[in-house]
Amino acid sequence: MSPLFLIGPRGSGKTTVARLLAERLGWEWLDADDVLEARRGKSIRAIFAEEGEDGFRDKESAVLAELCGRRACVVSTGGGVVVREPTGRCCGRRGASSG
């Protein structure tokens, strides 16, 4: 069972829907931004301030590449996840496949 990625603009309800969908499927749910903040020990805002968008996107891409390898989970992503083509492809390809 490949992970499902929810992608959309900020404030569109991705995290809420991910949590509800995962519950209904009996899967785990993850918020990619929460995972990134926990790994780095700082907020997304702080990462942006210290490293700029490129630094943030590098870290976001690494987290999402790892999450692409998970099974049976629903992942809500940051609204800008599709800014980088390889990251968007990973989420789209894995999320669209059947498991």
Identify the domain containing residue 20 by its residue range: 4-96
As given in the structure block, the two tokens for residue 75 are: 């992942």
Q: What is the mean pLDDT of residues 34-61?
A: 95
| CA gap 34, 43 in Å, rounded | 9
What pLDDT digit, counting tens, does each position of 5-23 carry? 998 888 899 999 999 999 9
Taking the C-alpha atoms of 91, 61, 20 and 12 in order, what is their torsion angle to the nearest 10 degrees?
A: -90
Q: Are 63 and 36 in contact (CB under 8 A)?
A: yes
CB atoms within 10 A of CB 85: 8
Number of domains in the chain: 1
Assign residue 22 the CATH number of its domain.
3.40.50.300
Quick one: DSSP state of residue 77? Answer: -
Q: What is the pLDDT of residue 85?
A: 64
